[in-house]
């Protein structure tokens, strides 16, 4: 017996490149059947700046300020990843005090980045007030960075061999006062949005990523750990003085829905802010005396070789692969960023989702346009 099949038409829509929830100049081509997506195809390239090519025209130390622009929300991590690669090639030993200051700057930057990330999740879904709460706290971190290095966004704080500026006891007391205030503020934020019934329904069970898919698509950082994969470079591929510090690695466990869904990705970043506070307190307590930067030749020439420096950034593994040819400039620099990997899974996740759910997927994957285009 023949069964009549209703006629269905596919509608192609543009989301972006100036849509407020795309977190930058980023375009998605939506293939929809009514309100249901057949697929959402990312279209990048609107912010391409040729930063890897710029690296080949700059002396090794001169490229450090450019690394800030890889991801303006986590500039410290880009500074550090590039510095690690060059330091390995040059055999530069970073002083212990500088290593601790790097951890302090990095974990402050992680908190500031996560504040924008989880605040954007609530704002994109329709709850604007929680975002303002986190912006208020982020301003305090910006004030600390301004006192530390004179900048509030693109810091250029790290140097090959250490950091640019030392800290005074007064600044450390300001940092401890911020931690005393911010740790209870996390609970305040949770009471405001994390258990909100509408918020939970918009995120729980939406676009879960299995551990196999997370690994297969090359996800890193919170997006990988939210799918139940217990991997963190600070612990599993240690660098700096992280082995001397104690911290836990939060892993997704389906706290409101299922492992690896949008809510797990949101919740994981909230918990990571708590662990960053814990790391900051230890780093302040253990901060040794001494120099903050090794002596490095201004015109550094490195023999032919290659090295990869990577750190656990706010969006996961951020790495710089540097190739040298005996001159005072890199022969080649390749950047590996977490946002680009996260973007690659969106087409796979989008099939069968409502158009409104794509906003939650983009926000909880925490993709950022400058980190993808470079």
Q: pLDDT, tens digit, for every residue of 238-271?
A: 999 999 999 999 999 988 889 989 999 999 999 9
This prediction has a pTM of 0.92
Residue 139 has what pLDDT? Answer: 94
Residue 72 has what pLDDT? Answer: 85
Of 19, 3, 6, nearest to 362 (Cα)?
Answer: 19
Q: What is the mean pLDDT of residues 2-22?
A: 68
CATH annotation of 11-373: 1.10.645.10
Q: Does residue 4 register a pLDDT over 50?
A: no
Question: Which range is least confidently modeled, 3-7, 218-222, 226-230, 369-373?
Answer: 3-7
pLDDT in tens, 49-81: 888 899 999 999 999 999 988 888 889 999 999
Q: Does residue 42 register a pLDDT over 60?
A: yes
Cβ count within 10 A of residue 216:
12
Using alpha carbons, list the distances in angstroms from residue 56 to 52, 154, 323, 329, 332: 7, 21, 10, 6, 6
Residue entry with tokens 């001159």: 327
Q: What is the mean pLDDT of residues 362-368?
A: 88
Give the domain ranges of the chain. Answer: 11-373
Q: What is the mean pLDDT of residues 356-371?
A: 87
Residue 8 has what pLDDT? Answer: 63
Give the phi and the psi of residue 31 in degrees, each rounded to 5. -105, 110
Rg (CA), the chain: 21
């Amino acid at each position: 017996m023949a069964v009549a099949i209703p006629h269905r038409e596919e509608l192609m829509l543009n989301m972006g490149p100036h849509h407020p929830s795309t977190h930058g100049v980023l375009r998605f081509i939506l293939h929809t059947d009514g309100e249901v997506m057949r697929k959402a195809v990312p279209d990048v390239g609107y912010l391409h700046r040729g930063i890897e090519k710029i690296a080949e025209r700059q002396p090794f130390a001169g490229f450090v300020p450019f690394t800030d622009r890889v991801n303006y929300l986590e500039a410290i991590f880009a500074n550090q990843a590039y510095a690690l690669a060059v330091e390995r090639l040059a055999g530069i030993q970073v002083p212990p005090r500088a290593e601790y200051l790097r951890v302090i700057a990095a974990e402050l930057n992680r908190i500031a980045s996560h504040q924008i990330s989880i605040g954007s999740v609530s704002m994109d879904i329709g709850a604007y007030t929680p975002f303002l709460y986190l912006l208020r706290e982020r301003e305090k971190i910006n004030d600390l960075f301004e006192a530390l290095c004179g900048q509030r966004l693109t810091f250029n704080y790290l140097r090959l061999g250490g950091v640019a500026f030392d800290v005074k006891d007064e600044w450390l007391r300001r940092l401890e006062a911020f931690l005393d205030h911010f740790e209870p503020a996390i609970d305040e934020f949770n009471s405001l949005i994390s258990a909100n019934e509408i918020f939970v329904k918009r995120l729980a069970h939406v676009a879960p990523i299995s551990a196999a898919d997370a690994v297969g698509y090359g996800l890193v950082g919170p997006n990988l750990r939210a799918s139940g994969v217990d991997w963190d470079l600070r612990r599993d591929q240690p660098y700096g003085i992280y082995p001397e510090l104690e911290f836990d690695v939060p892993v997704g466990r389906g706290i409101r829905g299922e492992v690896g869904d949008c809510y797990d990705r949101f919740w994981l970043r909230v918990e990571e802010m708590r662990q960053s506070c814990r790391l900051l307190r230890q780093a302040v307590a253990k901060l040794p005396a001494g120099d903050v930067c090794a002596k490095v030749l201004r015109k550094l020439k490195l023999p032919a070789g290659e090295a990869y420096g990577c750190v656990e950034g706010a969006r996961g593994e951020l790495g710089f692969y540097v190739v040298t040819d005996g001159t005072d400039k890199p022969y080649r620099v390749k950047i590996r960023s977490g946002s680009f990997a996260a973007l690659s899974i969106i087409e796979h996740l989008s099939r069968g989702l409502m158009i409104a759910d794509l906003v939650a997927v983009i926000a909880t994957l925490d993709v950022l346009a400058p980190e993808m285009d470079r």
